[in-house]
Amino acid sequence: MENNVAKAHLKYARISPRKVKIVLDLIRGKDAGVAMAILKNTPKSASEYLVKLLGSAIANAEHNNHMDPSKLYVAECFVCPGPTLKRIMPRAKGSADRILKRTSHVTIVVKERV
């Protein structure tokens, strides 16, 4: 692993990966401060998770790798589906429908601009 890379992972977040991907596409490649401002002003439920995650990635970069927080940018960000919780909802005539409660594993990688 290179010395100028810091990561943060969020596992088993109770939100669909499809919803997270929409917000991640907004911040990919942006400066860390700009990305944080975008997340704080985006009215999506995924942005709450991602504000904390990006803050964690920035803190990891500053504390563990001694990087300058003002030079950081979001190098990579992606979401993978986690395990799906399967639930049932009663329907007419004693039948049931399956409800899929999806989870997400999110990763944010920040690097220092050269």
Which 3 state secondary structure label does DSSP give 46?
helix
Q: Can you give the pLDDT of all 114 residues of the chain as single tens digits?
A: 446 899 999 999 999 999 999 999 999 999 999 999 999 999 999 999 999 999 999 999 999 999 999 999 999 999 999 999 999 999 999 999 999 999 999 999 999 988
What is the DSSP secondary structure assignment for residue 94, as one 8-state letter? G
CATH number of the domain where residue 46 is located:
3.90.470.10
3-state helix, strand, coil in the chain (%, to 5): 40, 35, 25
Domain with 47, as residue range(s), is 5-112
Number of domains present in the structure of the chain: 1
